[in-house]
A and B are shown apart, each in its own frame.
Chain A
Amino acid sequence: MRRIISATVLNESGVLNRLTGLLTKRQFNIENITVGHTEDPAVSKVTLTVWVEDDRKAEQLVKQLHKQINILKVRDLTNMALVSRELALIKVLTTPDTRSEIKMLIEPFRATVLDVSLENVTLEVTGDSEKIDALIELLRPYGIKEISRTGLTAIPRGTQKKVLELHPYSIM
């Protein structure tokens, strides 16, 4: 199963290395990872998407991350109501015939054209991962030259549904 984990960490050199090293050591495979500053300059936030076998593994991951001295807080956001966004830059091959067609096509995705040349256009699209996947599939027949994706970043929504069932394997 895919888990979205958010970690607030001290903004020190080596902390990302420590975090990813830990995941390697414990055999977790990172699908994507984003890091950036927060409202506090001393603190950074890491959002990572990982695949784990089951809930026990997910709990183990959160606990192991929490053990790190310069990781302040770890949250598994997977089952929370959250807003998540990813940005992708896509370079698509174009001919004079397809150029306007592509423009039409990307409109519902609210993607914008950043750069145009004779042979291709570069698009920017923001959204959850599924939306970006869908756009990429749609553009594939035209010939995709290059894709650059940022990976997911996420934040829990202001209002959360009441949790009725919780299955922690242990209480921290």
Chain B
Amino acid sequence: MKASWVAEKNSVETSLVSGAELFIQGLQNEEVDVLFGYPGGAVLPIYDALYKAEMKHVLTRHEQGAIHAAQGYARVTGKPGVVLATSGPGATNLVTGIADAMIDSIPLVIFTGQVATNVIGTDAFQEADIVGITMPITKHNYQVQRAEDLPRIMKEAFHIANTGRKGPVLIDIPKDVAVKTAEIKETACIHLPGYQPTLKPNILQVKRLNEALLQAKNPVLLTGAGVLAAKAEKELAAFAEYHQIPVAQTLLGLGGFAAEHPLCLGMAGMHGTYAANMALYDCDLLIGVGARFDDRLTGNLDHFAKKAVIAHIDIDPAEIGKNVPTEIPIVGCAKETLSAINQIADEKGDYNDWVIQLSQFKSEYPLTYKTNESELKPQKLMQILHEVTQGGAIVSTDVGQHQMWAAQYYRFSDPNRWITSGGLGTMGFGFPAAIGAKVGKPELPVIAVVGDGGFQMTLQELGVLQDWGLPVIVVIVNNKSLGMVRQWQEIFYEKRFSHSLLDIQPDFVKLASAYGIDGKLAETEDEVKEALTSALASKKPFVLDCIVTADENVYPMIAPGKGLHEMIGVRG
């Protein structure tokens, strides 16, 4: 026994390598195929190693662009996005993206440079306590003290980022740690005694849910991003179809259940469909799957699913019972849990009346808007997008009106085609996220639907499109205002449009042209259709500036403090 152990130990070659080389080896071990980053002083040794290793690296024009691109990449590929930035300002420029990834559970591994260990804590040039700064907005973070720790830390970081409830993990590497050499004797092992996510559900709770289904008359499923993260779309469809349970979706859950499916009620929440919101209001059994009962979804909790038994399937036990008291808690991954339920399914309840009632709601109170021949309606713009791309494109957005219209009218039928900043609501997210998505899924058309406000927050990334010739289509939903702010000011602040109207704008087409990118201004439906069709065919980057009705509002809407049944503007 002992002899064989010694032999095995000896068989591992010892080698002397630098921290930066260990970093490259770590990336290769994790099969990382691309990094998004921006160089600087503290990461010079790492960038030198990248140069030698010929790793694919997308140089964005701002660190925020790099992290949002990594988020888009992670969203469509299911692999962790990898980000590299320098110390100090490089690291702090990532903070918005880290917080965004944390709240939307996007797996990222972020590497930041740090000043050398002998000057940490002395307010050295470009020093920032990024580990301290990002502690509340990362799933976990590390500062590497010795080069020999790097292989283990990287292995742990990738594991933590992409298992359990996914999220961002940051690794801070002091400059001298990247330079120093270490003798590596054995392959790194993960040692995480405090991290064992529960994947398999408690079968007793699964049986309780099955019993609750038999007793229910009006059950509804509420599905979120957890379904997509677990790749549980098939299990979800099988479950919903077997029992004939209608499905409402969260903003981030779109695509987890086909929009065209007869049981699909669409998106629920503040700008959700009448059918989805009324189903949540009237149901007697609510089954949440990988959704976290966010306040934009539930509205006033005093009116939320008051008649219902709440069952909640989530991989994160802390989400269960956090906002809504839960009778049937099931901790587990959506895929494992739904297949466990599907396995024991035997008897079925009869929900026919309920399904018919909700179908009537769908046909009687669909999403609508007033058409106007002379203007391009933003809702119509989304419908044209869907039509021209046959519903098959990856669509990414910022936050605001254009995001809601895209969610409402681009009827997602496939998983992982929808990238949006949900929890944090980050302006400037959509365009760089689209770049990352295109890098991750070059075979699919990628459309960044952005507002004229949000686009101006990260439009410097047009440089990346020019650089790589990436055929991303940027559709600017241009209402010359910060639409959602304007809408709230119109409804709740007596039309005092305080700093929300952007009358002075750049010429976006000329701006694109300055980057060597084709662009077009579109003011009618025909112009949009024509430009989009030719842009898709050209396989080149394109900027389409769409001038839409400036004072269009997103409806239905639930005012803050109101319940899901108190929607306004239902008939549009």
Contact = CB atoms under 8 A, between A and B. Distances in A.
A170 B324 CA distance: 11
Contacts of A68: 194
A60 B318 contact: yes
Given A70-B194, A72-B193, A169-B321, A17 B331 contact: no
B140 interface: yes
B104 interface: no
A52 B106 CA distance: 31
A71 B318 CA distance: 15
A79 B202 CA distance: 25
A145 interface: no
A68 to B, nearest CB: 7
B254 interface: no
B205 A56 contact: no
Interface stretch (A18-26, A84-92, A133-141): A18-26
Contacts of A14: 131, 135
Nearest to B192: A69
Interface string A36-76: 00000000000000000000100110011011111111000
Contacts of B325: 56, 169
A69 B140 contact: yes
A26 to B, nearest CB: 10
Given A56-B321, A60-B322, A172 B331 contact: yes
A18 B195 CA distance: 15
Contacts, number: 58
Interface string B180-201: 0000000000001111001000
B139 interface: yes
In which size bucket is the chain B interface?
Answer: 20 to 34
A66 B160 CA distance: 15
Interface in B316-341: 316-318, 320-322, 325-326, 329, 331
B205 A69 contact: no
A171 B194 contact: no
B326 A17 contact: no
B317 A172 contact: yes
B132 interface: yes
B136 interface: yes
A69 B331 contact: no
Interface in B122-145: 131-132, 135-136, 139-140
Q: Which of B131, B132, B198, B320 has the most A CB atoms < 10 Å from its CB?
A: B320
B194 A10 contact: yes
Contacts of A69: 139-140, 160, 192, 194-195
A60 B319 CA distance: 8
Interface string B453-468: 0000000000000000
A76 to B, nearest CB: 14
A17 to B, nearest CB: 7
A67 B194 CA distance: 8
Contacts of B326: 169-170
A171 B135 contact: no
Contacts of A63: 317-318
A171 B329 contact: yes
Contacts of A64: 318
B365 to A, nearest CB: 35
Contacts of B192: 69
A171 B320 CA distance: 9
21 contacts: A10-B193, A10-B194, A14-B131, A18-B135, A21-B135, A56-B321, A60-B318, A60-B322, A64-B318, A66-B317, A66-B318, A69-B192, A69-B195, A72-B193, A169-B326, A170-B312, A170-B320, A170-B321, A170-B329, A170-B331, A171-B331
Interface of A: 9-10, 14, 17-18, 21-22, 25, 56, 59-60, 63-64, 66-73, 169-172
Given A56-B321, A172-B198, 5 more contacts: A17-B135, A60-B321, A67-B318, A68-B194, A169-B321
